[in-house]
Amino acid sequence: MADKTLLVTGAGGFLGQEITRLAGEYGWRVRAFDRSPERLPDGIEKIKGDIGDAAALSAACIEADALIHAAGLAHVFGAAAEDQEHFRVVNEEGTRRVFSAAAQCGVRRMVHVSSVSVYGEYVGDICSEANPCRPRGAYAVSKWQAELRAQEAINPQESSLTILRFATMYGEADRGNVGRLIRVVHRGRFLWPGHGTNRKSLIFREDAARACLLALEYERLGVEIYNVSALPVSLREIVTAICDALHMPIPKLGMPQAWLNVALWLAEKLGSQGTLSKTLHKITHDDCYDSSWFNRDYGFCPRISLAEGMKRAVAQLRD
């Protein structure tokens, strides 16, 4: 496969950098498409461009054998997190342009990086691909619409499209929810919300990158959709792993569930439902996703344990 070219959009991003780093192990010659490709290491083909530029995308797709679309808008907090138009332009329209260009240039194997956020609130202990998609919030809606645009753009009789819905991703240089949690614990500002027994699905970014590359191993015409996650862990296990990595004692102070309910009620009354109440709701509820279909079909097994992943994430934070 050494003569095969893999186009990676968002190659300089949180996940894209890791895909680019590991792609050589899978025999790919990397073509990195990014707004700032100069920050990427030498030894790969670099193309400066934006997914809003259809002409630049078409040029990048010429003679590419495979595509991993990892570019997108994420890790946005506060009022900007509800800017529906911004998310639509980047995640939905950008994805449409990427896969339209790839299809027109005859790219046969494609992976689209999506998110479990497309499910919204689910019923049951764990969410599988059989659950309906009911996204809530600007980001989740844009990711769901992006999946639809990707499927519309390709010809399923001539190419393969694998959509990977990743659980919460974390790792070095994480600016998302886990990175924020690490910083809160590091500053000594963490209070246990309830008993910490609620469960979360996480995936370390190196494992996420390997999943993307594994999905290109087989050329199966048509569209496949998978959840990708490590086994669920409790919030207490997550915070304990962070504290161990930081060499800090495990926090003892907590907020009883009754207080949390009052905080949620106040947040709604004060009109801050988009920030405080969503954060409290997310951190106190189960958020678990079944990855068994992808594990079975592609022989995937996460390699990075929670303890190892947190050590790496914390080391990068300290640097």
Residue 56 belongs to a domain with what CATH number? 3.40.50.720
Cα distance between residue 200 and residue 238, in whole Å: 9
CA angle 216, 202, 293 (to 5 degrees): 45
> Is it the case that residue 76 has pLDDT exceeding 80?
no
Residue 240 lies in a domain: no
Question: Number of structural domains, the chain?
Answer: 1
Instruction: Give per-residue pLDDT as tens, 239-274.
Output: 999 999 999 999 987 666 666 666 666 666 665 545
Predicted structure pTM score: 0.91
Mean predicted lDDT score pLDDT of the chain: 89
Q: What is the pLDDT of residue 31?
A: 97
Residue 117 lies in a domain: yes
Residue 48 lies in a domain: yes
Instruction: Give per-residue pLDDT as tens, 25-72.
Output: 999 999 999 999 988 988 899 999 999 999 999 999 999 999 999 999
Q: Is 299 exposed, middle or buried (0-12, 13-18, 19+ CB in 10 A)?
A: exposed
What lies within 8 Å, CB to CB, of 31 at 6+ separation is 5, 6, 7, 8, 44, 45, 47, 60, 64
Q: What is the pLDDT of residue 279?
A: 58
pLDDT band at 316 (very low <50, low <70, confident <90, very high): confident
What lies within 8 Å, CB to CB, of 266 at 6+ separation is none
What lies within 8 Å, CB to CB, of 70 at 6+ separation is 8, 9, 10, 11, 13, 15, 16, 19, 113, 212
Instruction: Give per-residue pLDDT as tens, 126-155.
Output: 999 999 999 999 999 999 999 999 999 999
Residue 318 lies in a domain: no
Question: Which whole number is the average pLDDT over 187-207?
Answer: 90
Q: What is the pLDDT of residue 77?
A: 64
Domain range for residue 136? 4-169+203-231+288-306
- The β-bridge partners of 233 are 200
Q: Which residue has the higher pLDDT, 165 or 83?
A: 165
Q: What is the pLDDT of residue 12?
A: 94
pLDDT band at 73 (very low <50, low <70, confident <90, very high): confident
Residue 180 lies in a domain: no
Q: What is the pLDDT of residue 271?
A: 55
pLDDT band at 175 (very low <50, low <70, confident <90, very high): confident
Rounded to 10 deg, the angle between the 94-104 and 54-61 helix axes is: 40
Q: What is the pLDDT of residue 252?
A: 86
Q: What is the pLDDT of residue 291?
A: 97
Residue 294 lies in a domain: yes
> Is it the case that residue 304 has pLDDT exceeding 90?
yes
Residue 63 lies in a domain: yes
Q: What is the pLDDT of residue 317?
A: 73
Residue 275 lies in a domain: no
